[in-house]
């Protein structure tokens, strides 16, 4: 059985400190939803409130239309996978996976069937008689996931399950989780501060910051149409470039003038933008060394990052600001070079003084 989850106007406080403030969110049945944000933004607290490990001060949480925030954790039909694995060290893998099922007096043959199926999915059948101390970090994490799978819950909750793994193992386990998501048809909520995990795994991402939701969208919506400067900064590597600009109207659309006078025509309708201070945002892949086409600006290469398939150029412009441009992996640029850059204004973003974005789609639809 799977579940849709409805969170309505939920708040959480610890004394005088508000951790979540009137947050609302709908999670669809069978959806893989990722809560993404920096440490302290409230994402793990929200997950623990769904699980019943933290109380709800205001608002409601429902699964399939039935309120659960008043129920104890054991009655919510939810399985949680923790960052710390939380395996019993004296038990075998099989016994760790069976423990919760034995506590509810499930028939032994059903327990065996569920363990065998989970072990097959996770490729840990050869580990069933080992104890946690005999396993690698990645194997322990798979056992923790298996323990959740055998419960056949309405929803799975993952609390930064990859953060204890080394870099190479994180990549491999992330791929395994993506594959598992296709085999286990269930609602899943995954908490992380790692944008790569979010972009790889999510059907939709909830970007959280400072007690609230900044944006909800698919990975490419979050990346291509950030709703705020915070989202544009937090998602994407390298982070988005930001430049102070002056604006004018050209045939109903905005043109942005850089400090050196370079004019960029954007895809944002002039009528949608209120007067005031504005910042232009543009990602590195929309800034390239000039080949004679398009509006250009110029500066000096301060830093080079050679990443194999591409090279990032950190270019100091005439006004002292730095912009990151993307060049080919075989780039011949060197530190100290004077380079001309072409900026794709059609792929630029505009943010007001409060950090809210004016995106082309928003402008088109008012």
Q: Which two tokens stand for residue 157?
A: 């909750």
Would you kindly state where each structural domain of the chain is located, as residue ranges?
5-233, 238-364
Residues contacting residue 101 through CB under 8 Å, at least 6 positions apart: 110, 111, 114, 150, 151
Tell me: the pLDDT tens digits for 22-43?
Answer: 999 999 999 999 999 998 899 9
pLDDT score recorded for residue 359: 62
**Residues 273-280, mean pLDDT to the nearest whole number:** 80
pLDDT score recorded for residue 273: 81
From 168-182, 184-198, 232-246, the region with the lowest mean pLDDT: 168-182
Tell me: the pLDDT tens digits for 63-99?
Answer: 999 999 999 998 999 988 887 778 889 999 999 999 9
**Residues 330-336, mean pLDDT to the nearest whole number:** 94
pLDDT score recorded for residue 56: 95
**Residues 316-342, mean pLDDT to the nearest whole number:** 93
Residue 206 predicted with pLDDT over 90: yes
Q: How confident is the model at residue 295 (pLDDT cuts 50, 70, 90)?
A: low
CA dist., res. 358 & res. 349, Å (int) = 7
CA dist., res. 9 & res. 11, Å (int) = 7
pLDDT score recorded for residue 258: 86
Please state the three-class secondary structure of 140-160 as a single string: HHHHHHHHHHCCCCCEEEEEC
Residue 316 predicted with pLDDT over 70: yes
Q: How many CB atoms within 10 Å of residue 88?
A: 12
Q: How confident is the model at residue 270 (pLDDT cuts 50, 70, 90)?
A: confident
Alpha helices, H only, 184-303 = 195-201, 219-224, 229-234
Residue 363 predicted with pLDDT over 50: no
Peptide bond into 41 cis (omega under 30): no
- Tell me the three state secondary structure of residue 263: strand
Most confident segment among 115-124, 191-200, 269-278 = 191-200
Fold topology of 5-233: Rossmann fold (3.40.50)
Residue 163 predicted with pLDDT over 90: no
CA dist., res. 291 & res. 309, Å (int) = 20
Which of 47, 57, 25 minimizes the C-alpha distance to 155?
Answer: 47
Question: Percentage of the chain surpassing pLDDT 90?
Answer: 57
CATH for 238-364, among 3.30.70.990, 3.30.70.1290, 3.40.50.261, 2.40.50.140? 2.40.50.140
Contact between 333 and 339 (Cβ < 8 Å): yes
CA dist., res. 363 & res. 271, Å (int) = 8
Kind of pairing between the strands at 17-27 and 5-14 = antiparallel
CA dist., res. 51 & res. 3, Å (int) = 13
Higher pLDDT, 294 or 235: 235
CA dist., res. 268 & res. 249, Å (int) = 10
Residue 253 predicted with pLDDT over 90: no
**Residues 317-332, mean pLDDT to the nearest whole number:** 92
Residue 280 predicted with pLDDT over 50: yes
pLDDT score recorded for residue 366: 34
Kind of pairing between the strands at 32-36 and 187-192 = parallel
Contact between 265 and 255 (Cβ < 8 Å): yes
């Amino acid at each position: 059985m799977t579940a849709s989850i409805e969170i309505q106007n939920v708040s959480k406080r610890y004394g005088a400190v508000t951790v979540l403030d009137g947050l609302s969110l709908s999670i669809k049945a069978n959806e893989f939803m990722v809560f993404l944000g920096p440490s302290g933004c409230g994402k793990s607290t929200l997950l623990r409130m769904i699980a019943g490990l933290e109380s709800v001060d205001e608002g409601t949480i429902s699964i399939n239309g039935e309120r659960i925030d008043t129920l104890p954790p054991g009655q919510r039909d939810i399985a949680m996978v923790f960052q710390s694995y939380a395996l019993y060290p004296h038990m075998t893998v099989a016994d760790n996976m069976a423990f919760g099922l034995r506590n509810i007096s499930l028939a032994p043959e059903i327990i065996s069937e569920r363990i065998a199926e989970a072990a097959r999915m996770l490729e840990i059948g050869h580990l069933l008689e080992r104890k946690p101390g005999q396993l690698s970090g990645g194997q322990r994490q798979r056992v923790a996931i298996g323990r959740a799978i055998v419960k056949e819950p309405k929803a799975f909750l993952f609390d930064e399950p990859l953060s204890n793994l080394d870099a190479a193992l994180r990549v491999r386990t992330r791929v395994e989780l993506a594959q598992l998501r296709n085999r286990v048809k269930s609602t899943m909520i995954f908490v992380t501060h790692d944008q790569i995990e979010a972009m790889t795994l999510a059907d939709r991402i909830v970007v959280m910051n400072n007690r609230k939701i900044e944006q909800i969208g698919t990975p490419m919506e979050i990346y291509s149409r950030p709703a705020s400067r915070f989202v544009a900064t937090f998602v994407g590597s390298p982070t988005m470039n930001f430049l102070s600009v002056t604006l004018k109207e050209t045939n109903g659309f905005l043109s942005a003038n850089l400090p050196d006078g370079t004019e960029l025509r954007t895809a944002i309708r002039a009528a949608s933008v209120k007067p005031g201070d504005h910042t232009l945002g543009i990602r590195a892949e929309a800034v390239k060394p000039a080949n004679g086409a398009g509006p250009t600006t110029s500066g000096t290469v301060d830093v080079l990052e050679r990443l194999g398939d591409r090279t990032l150029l950190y270019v100091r412009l005439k006004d002292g600001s730095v912009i990151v441009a993307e060049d080919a992996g075989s780039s011949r640029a060197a530190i100290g070079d004077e380079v001309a850059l072409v900026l794709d204004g059609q792929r630029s973003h505009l943010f007001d003084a409060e950090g809210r974005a004016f995106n082309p789609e928003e402008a088109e639809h008012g």
